[in-house]
Amino acid sequence: MNKPHVLQIGPYPQRDEELLNEHFVLHRYFEIDDRHAFLNRNGNDIRAIATRGDLGADGDLIRSLPALEIIAINGVGFDSVDLKAAKSKGIAVTNTPDVLTGDVADLTVGMMLAQSRRMVAAAHWVFSGDWKNRGDFPLTTRLYGKRAGILGLGRIGSAVARRLDAFNMDIFYSSTSAKSTPQSWQFIKDPAELAANSDFLVMTLAANDQTRHIVNKSVLDALGPRGFLINVSRAANVDETALLDALEKAEIAGAALDVFDGEPDINPRFLKLDNVLLQPHHSSATVETRKAMGDLMRENLLAYFAGKKLLTPVI
Ligand code: 8YV
């Protein structure tokens, strides 16, 4: 059988690219300068898009590929794929849920500890000689026993909440509706009210039109000068200008962020702050999880072209 042609939107780990190459003709779209000419020449052959959660596929690209049948995402988030355009053309979309949940939850808790205990600045205190020359590092803020507000209690939010439960934290959460949870977890629907009841407001919600800027100035005001914001979801869920204003004026205690508007070219205002922990969108980026994500994405593509049931369809 002829190998199906696949448009690859961004790089993958070498192993995944090798395995994909065994079954498909991969076109490395991200390395092509004249994309218009490429699509004119090869567009009719492309039957699949292989993309990532952070890169997606927009409506124009989807509409420009007449033979497109499936979009496979290496990632759980599908907010950057134009699902409406895909649906209207009867194109299947798959993602990679579950396999990344544990690593994302681990990094979230790690970011909370690193931020509240100022682990990066403390390490710098040792490296710079400040410990020897200036004495003890300033006191930091406790994590255990505090109040966690989980914004979005899906797979990842629940995994974070379970971990924080073990830190004896009080768990509050907001979601589209109350979930069946351990009895001590409390549902607070309104994000500002959730923030008012949180020492750590943790964003683990999926992104869509309804959640855009769900964390805005009034939510940040409610979180207040002793509250920390943690975002491992999508930058679009926060009003980043309001967040930068609040951080610069110390209207919240700090933020630990894995996602940014325009990443990786992030707003330079972040780089001047000393109350932030900045991470390069890597919460799922362990060897183990990226292997599992690569396998699941490839298995979805193989299932599709073998006429079998998709493993993890979005639509
Ligand atoms: C990565 C992600 O950015 O899963 C997601 O939605 O955003 C991340 O895990 C990326 O998709 C990895 O390929």
CATH code at position 49? 3.40.50.720
In whole angstroms, how far apart are CA 177 and each of 173, 180, 182?
Answer: 10, 10, 15
- Whether 283 maps to a domain, the answer reads no
- Whether 15 maps to a domain, the answer reads yes
| One domain, residues 257 and 299 | no
Q: Is the peptide bond before 138 cis (omega within 30 degrees of 0)?
A: no
| One domain, residues 89 and 110 | no
pLDDT at 164 over 90: yes
| One domain, residues 157 and 173 | yes
Task: Report the alpha-carbon distance of residue 38 to residue 223 in Å, rounded.
Answer: 49
Ligand 1 within 6 A of CB of 52: yes
Q: Which domain holds residue 30?
A: 5-99+288-305
| One domain, residues 142 and 268 | yes
pLDDT of residue 56: 98
With 0.85 as the threshold, say if the pTM is over it.
Answer: yes
How many domains are contained in the chain? Answer: 2
112-158 residue pLDDT tens: 999 999 999 999 999 999 999 999 999 999 999 999 999 999 999 99
Whole-number Å distance, alpha carbon 245 to ligand 1 midpoint, is 28
The residue whose two tokens read 């800027």 is: 213
| One domain, residues 90 and 207 | no
Nearest CA to ligand 1 atom 4: 75
Q: What is the mean predicted confidence (pLDDT) over 167-175?
A: 98
User: How many residues comprise the chain?
Assistant: 315
Whole-number Å distance, alpha carbon 30 to ligand 1 midpoint, is 17
| One domain, residues 62 and 124 | no
Pocket of ligand 1, candidates 284, 293, 295: which has the most ligand atoms within 8 Å of its Cβ, to mutate? 284
Tokens of 138: 């300033």
